[in-house]
Every structure is written in C-alpha cells, then in structure tokens.
Amino acid sequence: MEKRKIEIMDTTLRDGEQTSGVSFAGQEKVSIARLLLEELKVDRIEVASARVSEGEFKSIRKVAQWAKNRGYLDKIEVLGFIDGTASVDWIINTGCRVMNLLCKGSLRHCREQLRKTPEEHLEDIKQVISYAQRKGVDVNLYLEDWSNGMRHSEEYVYLIMDNLKDLPIRRFMLPDTLGILTPDETADFCTRMIRRYPDVHFDFHAHNDYDLAVANVFEAVKAGVKGVHVTVNGLGERAGNAPLSSVIAVIEDHLKMKTNVREKSIYHVSKIVESYSGIRIPANKPVIGDNVFTQVAGVHADGDKKNNLYFNDLLPERFGRSREYALGKTSGKANIMKNLEALGIDLDEETTKKVTARIIELGDKKEIVTPDELPYIISDILKNGTENQVIQLLNYSLTLTNGLRPTATVKIAIKGEVYEQTAAGDGQYHAFSKAMYKIYRSLNKPIPELLDYMVVIPPGGKTNAYVQTIITWRFEGKTFKTRGLDVDQTAAAIKATMKMLNMIENKTIPTFNYMQLP
C-alpha cells in the first residue's frame, strides 16, 4: 500500500518573520525562498502579507521574479485581507498569483473585530474571491481563530464553510491562531471538518503557545488533513509555529507517511535561516540542535558499540549530520574510544586510561570537551608526562585594569617552604613571570631563559576551547619545551611554566638538545 503524501507549506517568510526582532532583507527572502523550494523541496511557501510596506512590496517583487524565472510562481503565496480590491491588486503588482485570504473563523472575531454579522462577512469574502478570480489570482482561505470557533461557535464555522465550499477556493486552512488546542481537540475538530466536508482540501496551521504544535500536527494529519504549515526552526509570533524539522520526522517515523521534503537538507537550511534571522537554535532542539546527536554518558557510547543499543530512527545521517560522543566528566572509556576511532588515533590501554582521567578532570571546568580538542589533550599527556611536584603553585591572582599595567601575586611552595611575591608586567603572563623571578632571585636560584611562546587553539572558533601553550626554554645549555592546556591562555602558560620549574628541580630536562641554537 502506497504511503499517503502530506503537502508541506512553509511560512517562514510570512508568519516566521513575525518573530520579535526578525526582518529579512529582500535578497535574504530570495535566498530563503530558493532554499525552501529547490533544496528542501517543500510544496509551497507563504512569503508575505499584502500591503505591509513599500519595502516588503519590493522584496516580494524580487521573490516573484525569481520564482517566475524558475517555474515556481504557483508555489508562491501571499496573505491577503477582506479589503475589496486592495490586497488582490497589491499581490498582482508584485507579480504573484496565489492569495491566502484571511477570513474570520470564529463568531467572536466576526462580531467584535469586524463588527459585522456572519452574512455581511460572507458577502465581503465572496466579493474578494470573485475579483481575484477575474484577475487570475488563485485563492486559498484561512479561517482565522478556527480553534476558538470550533470551541465556542461551531455552527458559525459550518455556516461559513457551507457558503464557501463550492466557490473556487483551492484549500481551506484551519489555524490554531492562538496555540490553544490540545491534541485531543485537534483530532476531534479536524475529524468533524473532514467528515462534514470530505471533498475539501484542508490544511492545518499550528502555533506553539503550549508547546503542543507538533503533537497537534500529528493529530491533524492522522485525522486526515492533506497539508500542514511549518516554519524553519519554529520561527513565528509569540512561541512560534510548528518547526519543519520535527514535523517532517514525525510524519515519516510515527505516521508512516511521506512528504516531498529532502531530509538531508534540513540542517543546512536551518543553519542559514538561523544566521539570517539572528535567532539561535536551542542546543537541544530536536533534529537540528547542536547536542541532539551527541551521546554524553559513557554507558550510551558503550551500548552503541554493542549493536547500536542507544540508536533510534532519528539517525543523524538522514538530516545531513553525524553522531558524536561528548567528552566530559561523565565520559567513559567507550566515549573516548569512539572519538579516537573517528580521529584515526590508536592508543595503548594505559594511555587511554590517562586520557580518560584527564578528560574527566577537565570536564569539571567546562561542560563539553570537543573532539577537535582531544589531540591536544593526548599531546599534553604524552609529552608532559608526570613530574614529582617539588615546586607547587599554591595560589595566584592576576589583575587587568584599563590604563594600568597588569599585576600578579604568586604564592608557591618549594619543598614545603612557602614564598609569595607581587609584580607588574606588560601582560598578565609577564607579570606572573616577574613575580616568580623575584622569588627565585631572593633564593639565588638559577633562572631559565624563555626562547619561544606559542599558543595553539583547536579549529571551530569556540571561545571556550582548550588552549595549548607551548613554551621553549633554555637552561644550562639545554633547550626544551613544556606544554600547558587550559581554557584560559594565561593559565595554560602558567601550567607550562610550573612544568618547566619542576623539570629543572628534579633534573629531568631531556639530555638530547633537539634545537641547535647559534
């Protein structure tokens, strides 16, 4: 038996743009329209409301011209109003040819907002539809506030439908305008509409005020509606609309139906719209959030190694993504091994244990250690080894004040004796070094020479990435390097410095002078 296909109408450029603070530029609208129709393959897009502004008019003309050149003009829709000829003319002048006519789907809206009787409202609707037909504009019809209409004035809804169902209206669109419906109500109300008007094409338009938009779409499709409305990333007024990503997954996996949407493009398009809109995608947003395909607990990674015990049907590859295994304080050996496999790194058992222990230690400093940082941690372990901590850093304080030189106060213990000094420098690490040198001079201890200071940051541009500081020293004719790893560059340099001082104190400087200096 062939799967039933559900029509997807995306309204990111109209309803989604009603998100507080979101306004797409003309070229951004063209770009998003292209992504939705050519890359995602949605069936239709709603791009604007008629008569909003001169800027909107120019933007929609650009979209319409692009759509006409690409053969998509019948997929471009504009919200229109019961305003005589004004909306229809505005739509025609943009170059568009489909109007989504906004009518009143509840008696209260009809009486109190329009201050008209149902009969008067019906007459106004018919006049607009007649004019649109004469001008060659196709009409879909929104029953605004339909959910309240079904709750409180069901006979009014049927009166409107009975008088309009035989007119040239391609789709009747049922909005939960205020996001008030429960899944049970959605199923009930949609079923009543479909049973009473079996030959009508119904769309369902959900809002997410109670976080039930996707659940309500599920029930509407199950009841038999033929189309649903979505937005990329769930953009929309107040709590937003039903997110395209979740709706597609639910239709495919739970309803066992299909759409024309290309799943592999969902993440890519979502990230571009995130950039254009300035509205960040929550890290835990299903399908498209940064963390949703990341296993954190070590037991889950272990289960994935044993016949994918913690997989579900939402395989990341479907959506152009990949599964990751987080590295942090809850990591186990299985997480580490999964990441090492992905990086092509093979470690012995003892080193793997050390890496695991270090990641757990570092995980207390930040939530996640990224796979990009793993090679730096391994390098830190392999090249630094462990030293007898004859010299211990007990405490330090760094200050950076605009207009004043940075200062550092350092307290260390050398073989149990405590020393403290304060110094100013040209930078925080320079101030730390000068304070340390003060202590060493007071003890007549020899002072090494710093030859080179290099900072390496993993790719990805994250501001909380671990920093590896590599410092080259010369002491008693020997040149050697020490490394420090931390989320703070100065802290990493301090770790490298303490490593160097303990190597000198323990006389464990490499005997091989691998850097020939003039």
Query: In this structure, are 18 and 91 located in the same domain?
Result: yes
- In this structure, the answer to whether residues 141 and 220 fall within a common structural domain is yes
Closest CA to 439 of 478, 406, 391: 391
Q: Kindly report the CATH number assigned to the domain that includes residue 160.
A: 3.20.20.70
- The answer to whether residue 511 sits within a structural domain is no
Q: Give the C-alpha separation, 325 to 295, whole Å.
A: 5
Task: Name beta bridge partners: 324.
Answer: 294
| 235: in domain | yes
Distance CA 411, CA 422 (A): 9
Q: What is the CATH number of the domain that holds 467?
A: 3.30.160.270
Of the residues 17, 56, 144, 324, only one is catalytic, namely: 144
Does any domain span residue 286?
no
- Beta bridge pairs of residue 67: none
Active-site residue (options: 14, 97, 171, 483): 14
Residues 124 and 72 in one domain: yes
- Asked if 77 is an active-site residue, the reply is no
What amino acid occupies position 324?
A: E
Assess whether 94 and 202 both reside in one domain.
yes
The three-class DSSP label of residue 77 is strand
Cα distance between residue 436 and residue 420, in whole Å: 9
For 348, counting Cβ atoms within 10 Å of its Cβ (0-12 exposed, 13-18 middle, 19+ buried), the class is: exposed
The rounded distance, in Å, linking the Cα atoms of 276 and 26 is 11
Same domain, 188 and 242: yes
Which residues are paired to 468 by β-bridges?
Answer: 456, 485
Structure tokens at 452: 């080179």
Q: How far apart are CA 282 and CA 289, in angstroms?
A: 6
Q: Which residues pair with 484 in a beta bridge?
A: 469
The one-letter amino acid code at 15 reads D
Q: Could you say which of 384, 403, 438 is where a domain stops? A: 384
What's the pLDDT score for residue 203? 98
Domain assignment of residue 284, yes or no: no
Predicted TM-score of the model (pTM): 0.69
The one-letter amino acid at 19: T
Residues 6+ apart with CB under 8 A from 198: none
Residue 103 CA neighbour count, 13 Å, CB half: 34
Number of domains within the chain: 3
Q: Are residues 333 and 470 in the same domain?
A: no
Do both 358 and 497 map to the same domain? Answer: no
Please indicate, yes or no, if residue 1 is contained in any of the structural domains: no
Same domain for 396 and 447, yes or no, is: yes
Shared domain for 118 and 63, answered yes or no, is yes
Nearest to 266 by CA among 283, 289, 293, 284: 289
Contacts of 338 (CB under 8 A, 6+ apart): 295, 301, 304, 305, 325
Closest CA to 337 of 356, 363, 322: 356
Distance CA 149, CA 318 (A): 39
288 inside domain = no
Residue 432 CA to residue 445 CA, distance in Å, equals 17
Together in a domain, 436 and 360: no
The verdict on whether 274 is a catalytic residue reads no
Residues 139 and 218 in one domain: yes
Mean pLDDT in consecutive groups of 10 residues from the start of the chain, 518 residues:
91 92 89 96 97 92 96 98 97 98 97 96 98 98 98 98 98 98 98 98 98 98 98 96 97 96 94 91 89 57 45 80 60 58 63 71 58 63 63 93 91 93 94 94 92 76 68 88 83 90 83 38
Residue 82 and residue 477: Cα distance in Å, rounded?
89
**Domain housing 79:** 7-277
R_g of the chain, CA atoms, integer Å: 32
Quote the strand ranges of 123-214, DSSP E: 138-144, 172-175, 202-205
Query: Among 384, 417, 447, where does a domain finish?
Result: 384
Q: Which two tokens stand for residue 400?
A: 């950076």
Give, in order, the Cα–Cα distances in Å from 339 to each of 303, 330, 462. Answer: 15, 15, 19
**What phi-psi label fits residue 341: left (phi over 0), alpha (psi between -120 and 50 degrees) or beta?**
alpha
Q: How far apart are CA 413 and CA 419, in angstroms?
A: 6
Q: CA-CA distance, 269 to 264, in Å (whole number)?
A: 10
Domain boundary among 364, 384, 404: 384
Residue 192 domain flag: yes
Is residue 197 located within the same domain as residue 86?
Answer: yes
Residues with Cβ within 8 Å of 28's Cβ and at least 6 positions away in sequence, in order, are 276
In-domain check, residue 123:
yes
Distances (CA, A) of 110 to 38, 139, 156, 166: 39, 20, 10, 21
